[in-house]
Amino acid sequence: MAKITYITSDNQTHTVEVQNGLTVMEGAVQNDIPGIDADCGGGMACATCHVYVKDDWFNKIPKKEDGEDDMLDMAFEPKKNSRLSCQIIVSDELDGLQVNIPSKQA
Amino acid sequence: MKKTDALIIGAGPTGLFTAHQLKLIGLDCEIVDNLDKIGGQCIELYPDKPIYDIPAVPECTGEELTNNLLNQLKPFDIKFHLSERVEEVKKEENNWLVKTSGGNSFLTPNVIIAGGVGSFEPRKFSPKECEKFENKSLFYSVKDKNIFNGKTVSIFGGGDSALDWAIELSKESHVNLIHRRDEFRGAQATVDKMHALVKDGKINLFTKYQIANAHGKQTLESIDIKHDNNEIKNLKTEYVLGFFGLIMQLGPIANWGLNLNKKTIEVDTEKFETNQKGIYAVGDICNYPGKLKLILSGFHEGALAARACFKLARPDEKYRFEFTTTSTNLLKRLGKKE
């Protein structure tokens, strides 16, 4: 279990407990947090669950695998700390993770 | 105006199998899809990615699945209307009047929405200023490459479309290629060719840059591009091309008076009918308690929606359940019996 904070582009913060094994994307979708569309349902095929990971966390969470950067090319306003939230799997180590949701997904 | 027993919106796997089920029970149908090809998300998002959870098919790619479904449709005559988006669905007595962006109109008692997550539209540039140049000097696809002859064209993107057009247009135009990182995801041979043209001075390459602004009164004059380190460069350019792939948008479906839940349509689980009689939703776009976004669920939903269509298309006939193994009727329709 990890407490994850999602910050929307209008600075609303939503902190929810997400079970280990779910993804950061699923944590948002299941808790009705706005701004994460996840059109493809976690298949790394759409780049609509794009988030910015706070710098200190970016290096702590598991690294991007093949293909994630290719999809991020298509995301709305990608930055150096961009990730697809469907590729970040929640574990106890992620307790306290903060992610920012972009102003739109496309 | 075309009359049909059922109109299917979406030519993905669910739409294709729904067509099979309709034809099998003796109903006509036509299919409309906004993409220029058949296959939906399977073809557009993951043509080469293997799928492992289609019943009785241990492994197949999105493209193979599409081809197999088309093979299964071979006994039937089904009209496809591709590159057309359904814009309007209106009640007309006991029928629905459906109009497409391609100027087609259909009169049908049954509309089956098998639209995935909506229609595919190009992903656009984020700066607001880009909008006013859209379709004049800023494009997301190329219709006539000759308009770029002798001009400066700035191309954004890191995939095959961006690379192919950078290479092609470098013959007759001044080309800037701009991408957000150093790695390109296009085919290696294409990436190598692009780098060779950069070396020869035929393409100006800017990596770790993204578009920040567009300038010009009536016509585009220049763009600002911003580096990862926040440095901004101004590039004089007459045209801009963006290739960021496609995104699914619900689009006009939102205006048809259907009960929506986020980007999905609420249906019952007997007929997969929406709150509007004669409009059904199947596949990823429908929503009900326990819904799974699996291709196999779409097949089941399409089979049931097809039976529901029978009642409205043939109000005076009784639908009788039959098996393809034994029914002479079905075997005739499948072309297996005279």
CATH code where residue B78 lies: 3.50.50.60
Q: Please check whether residues B176 and B222 belong to one and the same domain.
A: yes
B68 and B27: one domain? Answer: yes
| Cβ contact A76–B41 (<8 Å) | no
Whether pTM > 0.90 for this model: the answer is no
Class of residue B335 by CB neighbours under 10 A (exposed 0-12, middle 13-18, buried 19+): exposed
**Residues in chain B closer than 8 A to A40 (CB atoms):** 41, 45, 117
User: A41 — phi, psi (to 5°)?
Assistant: 80, 20
CB A98 within 8 Å of CB A10: no
Chain B contact set for A78 (CB, 8 A): 180, 210
Is A80 within a domain? yes
CA closest to A70 among chain B residues:
B185
Residue B307, pLDDT > 90, answer yes
Residue contact A70–B41, C-beta within 8 A? no
Assess whether B209 and B286 both reside in one domain. no
Let me know whether B277 and B236 are in one domain: no
Encoded tokens for B314: 């043939």
pLDDT band at B140 (very low <50, low <70, confident <90, very high): very high
| Of residues B157, B180, B248, nearest to A39 (C-beta) | B248
Name the residue among B177, B136, B172 with its Cα closest to residue B151: B172
Among B244, B278, B313, where does a domain finish?
B244
Q: Nearest CA to B95 among B162, B171, B6, B14? A: B6
Asked if B247 and A78 come within 8 Å (Cβ–Cβ), the reply is: no
pLDDT one-digit tens code per residue, B41-52:
898 877 888 999
Q: Is B217 in the same domain as B235?
A: yes
- Provide the 3-class DSSP secondary structure of residue A51: strand
| Mutation choice for B interface testing from A36, A39, A69 by most B CBs within 10 A | A39
Q: For this complex, say whether ipTM is above 0.90.
A: no
- The residues pairing with A4 across neighbouring beta strands, listed in sequence order, are A16, A97
Number of domains in chain B: 2
Report yes or no on A105 lying in a domain: no
Burial class from Cβ neighbours inside 10 Å (0-12, 13-18, 19+) for residue B218 reads exposed
Q: Is B325 exposed, middle or buried (0-12, 13-18, 19+ CB in 10 A)?
A: exposed
SS3 B256: coil
Q: Is position A94 within any domain?
A: yes
pLDDT digits (tens, 9 = 90+) for B76-95: 999 999 999 999 999 999 99
Per the domain annotation, does A88 fall within a domain?
Answer: yes
Interchain contact, B180 vs A73, CB within 8 Å: yes
Q: Domain range spanning residue B130? A: 124-244
- What is the pLDDT averaged over residues A5-11? 95
pLDDT of residue A39: 85
Count how many domains chain A has.
Answer: 1
